[in-house]
Amino acid sequence: MSSTRKTKYHALSGGEAAAQAMRQINPDVVAMYPITPQTPIIESFAKMAANGKVTTSIINAESEHSAMSAVVGASAAGARAMTATSSQGLAYMAEVCYIASGMRLPIIMAVANRSLSAPLNIHGDQSDAMMLRDSGWIQIFSENAQEVYDNMLISLRLAEHPKVLTPAMVMQDGFITSHAVQNVLKLDDEIVKKFIGEWKPLYPLLDIDHPVTYGGLDLFDYYFEHKRQQIEGIGNALKVLRAIDSEYAKISGRKYSCIEEYRLKDASIAIVLMGSTAGTAKSVIDELRKKGIKAGLLKIRLFRPFPGEAIKKSLAKIKRVAILDKAAAPGASGALSNEIRALFAGAKKSPQFQSCIYGLGGRDVGLEDIGKIYADLQKGKISDKIKYIGLR
């Protein structure tokens, strides 16, 4: 370990890990409204603020819509602004989320993924994230509490990069990650401070010597051009993230990429997914490898912008692939499945794909469930119909 790298293990839930990263960032403004299972994030951070561990101005908003509106105003004014939410809270924020990205405001939002009503369910699937996948926000998914902590710090640098200037959501699976306690390696406060640097906004609303307008009327004469610029910004995040991940590896010893390959190089069958279930899949893969079965995993960390070229390269030589969506798309295949299948449209050679839906409403998916997916792939049991994993 590098002599410049200072780390210490802490037993933290995913929610607490997000809050610890927020403490080290020490944002100017955090607007908050509680919702299960996100509440531990803002609850932990509020305690830190009450104990004088940050100088953040906390806004206790009357709703999630108001919380997002508050951080939009704060960010436009030139502040580092953050918030957190889940499920219906994210749905209530949706209108303002599009405004935040359209204004190119580098807001960071911690999201504890949870199913959307109805029926009412407080447990974790990724339907809330998929609802806003095309809202213009960067979307980064975390497998465990360590990745939550790291992704919070990395996402700030990414969002604030002058070639990106795009808000970012850092995802963790509700309850499975948000409430489970794991060992987390934290960086020294001074190292984090140096890594994130000082935020110098380009066009702060409160710079009265250089007046600007935010949220002005933008009709057909310029709207198209401004949206194209926004698309360019989030597209730049792919290249910029590689550089930031490399820099972060030097101070932490943890190397990240937009995707993670697990025993995939020589695999003949593979699963693709996002989030905490990757840990379960890795355990199954290790057991299958002992039996001589060449199974692998492709974990998607960065979902927006979609790292299509990297995914296509990783899967190109795999014979059969199951794509697991933890969110339903009534009337269509899951979003991840559609994206990956589209990459290979018209290709001379393509894996056989099996679309799967799993974990809706927090339905547990264990070793046996994942094992059966690999068993079906090994036997060549591929169907054009969606498979529903763990459905009674």
Q: What is the CATH number of the domain that holds 330?
A: 3.40.50.920
Domain around 61: 7-252
Given a cut of 80, whether residue 9 has pLDDT beyond it is: yes
The predicted-structure confidence for 329-368, as pLDDT tens digits, reads as follows 999 999 999 999 999 999 999 999 999 999 999 999 999 9
pTM for the full predicted model: 0.97
The verdict on 95 and 50 lying in the same domain is: yes
pLDDT at 139: 99
**Residue that is last in its domain, among 206, 234, 252:** 252
Q: What is the DSSP letter of 266?
A: T
Q: Is residue 63 part of a domain?
A: yes
For the chain, how many structural domains are there in total?
Answer: 2
The verdict on 329 and 226 lying in the same domain is: no
3-state DSSP of 211-234? CCCCCCCCCCCCHHHHHHHHHHHH
Packed helices 14-25 and 39-50: angle between N→C axes, nearest 10 degrees = 40
C-alpha span between 316 and 299 (Å, rounded):
15
The verdict on 76 and 181 lying in the same domain is: yes
The predicted-structure confidence for 92-123, as pLDDT tens digits, reads as follows 999 999 999 999 999 999 999 999 999 999 99
pLDDT at 8: 75
The verdict on 77 and 196 lying in the same domain is: yes
The verdict on 198 and 305 lying in the same domain is: no
**Residue that is last in its domain, among 226, 252, 278:** 252
Please work out, in degrees rounded to the nearest 5, the angle formed at the alpha carbon of residue 54 by the alpha carbons of 50 and 57. Answer: 75
The predicted-structure confidence for 265-284, as pLDDT tens digits, reads as follows 999 999 999 999 999 999 99
Given a cut of 90, whether residue 5 has pLDDT beyond it is: no
Q: Is residue 1 part of a domain?
A: no
The predicted-structure confidence for 296-305, as pLDDT tens digits, reads as follows 999 999 999 9
> What residues are paired with 169 via a beta bridge?
109, 139
pLDDT at 1: 39
**Residue that is last in its domain, among 252, 272, 303:** 252
The predicted-structure confidence for 51-100, as pLDDT tens digits, reads as follows 999 999 999 999 999 999 999 999 999 999 999 999 999 999 999 999 99
The DSSP string of 313-368 is HHHTT-SEEEEEESS--TTS--HHHHHHHHHTTT-SS--EEEEEEE-GGG----HH
The verdict on 165 and 294 lying in the same domain is: no
C-alpha span between 109 and 167 (Å, rounded):
8
The predicted-structure confidence for 10-54, as pLDDT tens digits, reads as follows 999 999 999 999 999 999 999 999 999 999 999 999 999 999 999
The predicted-structure confidence for 145-198, as pLDDT tens digits, reads as follows 999 999 999 999 999 999 999 999 999 999 999 999 999 999 999 999 999 999
The verdict on 67 and 165 lying in the same domain is: yes
Q: Is residue 302 part of a domain?
A: yes
The verdict on 269 and 203 lying in the same domain is: no
The verdict on 276 and 292 lying in the same domain is: yes
Q: Is residue 220 part of a domain?
A: yes
The verdict on 200 and 288 lying in the same domain is: no
The verdict on 323 and 339 lying in the same domain is: yes
pLDDT band of 3, cuts 50, 70, 90 = very low
Q: Is residue 145 part of a domain?
A: yes
Q: Is residue 2 part of a domain?
A: no
Q: Is residue 219 part of a domain?
A: yes
The verdict on 100 and 57 lying in the same domain is: yes
Amino acid at 131: M
